[in-house]
Amino acid sequence: MQIVCDTRGLEVSVRNRCFQFETATDSRMVHPDKVTSILVTAPCRISSPAMELATLHQIPFIICDRCGLPVVRTYSAQFINITALRRKHYKFTSSPKAAAWAMEMILKKIDGQLATMAFVTDRKPSLKGAFAKAESEMSRQTEKISRSFDQMNPEWKKAVLFLESYAASRYWQLIGQKLPVPFTFSNRVKFNSSDLFNPCINYLYGMLRNQMDTVISSTGLDPGLGIVHCDQYKTPTLVFDLMEPFRPVIDRMLLTAILEKRVKVLSTGTMEGGLLSKVQRKWLIEFFISGLDNRISCAGCVASLKSHMFREVQQLATLIKAI
């Protein structure tokens, strides 16, 4: 399980070889075998023995900002020898196989977007005409670019990014039209949104980023050595690459909760200066953690979302090892 430290002043220490989580009014002891990660979303005191116990059991400490984005992540100094794999990883990024893999990731994302659009349209029949038009445009552009895609062309990345951007513009334009207030939106934005959907989905994407980063690191791949996304200092670009097919899954999770009116906590919460409140953030974290065990169908395989993420990363690692 993932432990969430969201109480200001909480102390994390070690007692009897277990984690001790303690506040002024409560205390809880958890064995490390039951913990997969420790997420810190409020100012806490973490002892060095707790850090040592976490790294000994390969449990990452992830410290997030108020938008849910990770700013600190711990790793064990005893991590497996990954030099050979990372050398192959670097070589793979400039190979034609990387281009083919990148196009496959975007096509998977677009398939997920189309499925999510169809899901929303089934519940909002007034979108039927707009959906048919958007689906036709996205499918036509996908077929056109896929047919002419040349993985040997050094400019292949432009085609992938254009297709991703084109599909996203059609997708979000339809998705935001018929959501109930205060979730209705016309544009996807990362900051200073006047609606509630954008900050919520951004926060969930932050959780997805945390989870994908953990999965990638567990395989020995370099989270910062991307294939589609440009390398940037302090940015885990491979994480962003591998997140793409799973974004529509997270979208659908939130959209389902909104359309089924299971978001009362979000709707009645108070946004603080354009940011989500503690109550809203706590609900989203619990919502995401429970969603990791949701069983979904992908590439003919039905498994939990978490399992699909591991499977996607392992398939990439297999391609890289074959270089």
78 within domain boundaries: no
Tell me what pLDDT residue 323 has: 84
User: Are 139 and 105 members of one domain?
Assistant: yes
- The pTM of this model reads 0.81
CB 229 within 8 A of CB 240: yes
Q: Which of 66-80, 85-99, 228-242 has the lowest mean pLDDT?
A: 66-80
Task: Give the DSSP letter of residue 186.
Answer: S
pLDDT at 69 over 80: no
Render the burial of 227-262: b for 16+ CB within 10 Å, e for the rest: bbbeeeeeebbbbbbbbbbbbbbbbbbbbbbbbeee
User: Are 144 and 214 members of one domain?
Assistant: yes
Find the domain containing 13 and state its range: 2-73
CB 68 within 8 A of CB 281: yes
User: Are 88 and 56 members of one domain?
Assistant: no
Dig out the tokens for 271 from the structure: 């946004």
Which of 73, 108, 128 represents a domain boundary (last residue)? 73
User: Are 127 and 161 members of one domain?
Assistant: yes
301 within domain boundaries: yes
User: Are 50 and 193 members of one domain?
Assistant: no
300 within domain boundaries: yes
CA dihedral 151, 300, 287, 266 (to 10 degrees): 70
pLDDT at 78 over 90: no
Q: What is the pLDDT of residues 8-67, one digit of tens each?
A: 899 999 999 999 999 988 899 999 998 877 888 889 999 999 999 988 887 888 888 776
Task: Give the DSSP letter of residue 43.
Answer: -
User: Are 260 and 221 members of one domain?
Assistant: yes
User: Are 140 and 67 members of one domain?
Assistant: no
* CATH code for the domain of 32: 3.100.10.20
Number of domains present in the structure of the chain: 2
Q: What is the pLDDT of residues 308-320, one digit of tens each?
A: 998 999 899 999 9
Q: φ, ψ for residue 11 (rounded to 5)?
A: -110, 135
Tell me what pLDDT residue 233 has: 62
User: Are 37 and 128 members of one domain?
Assistant: no
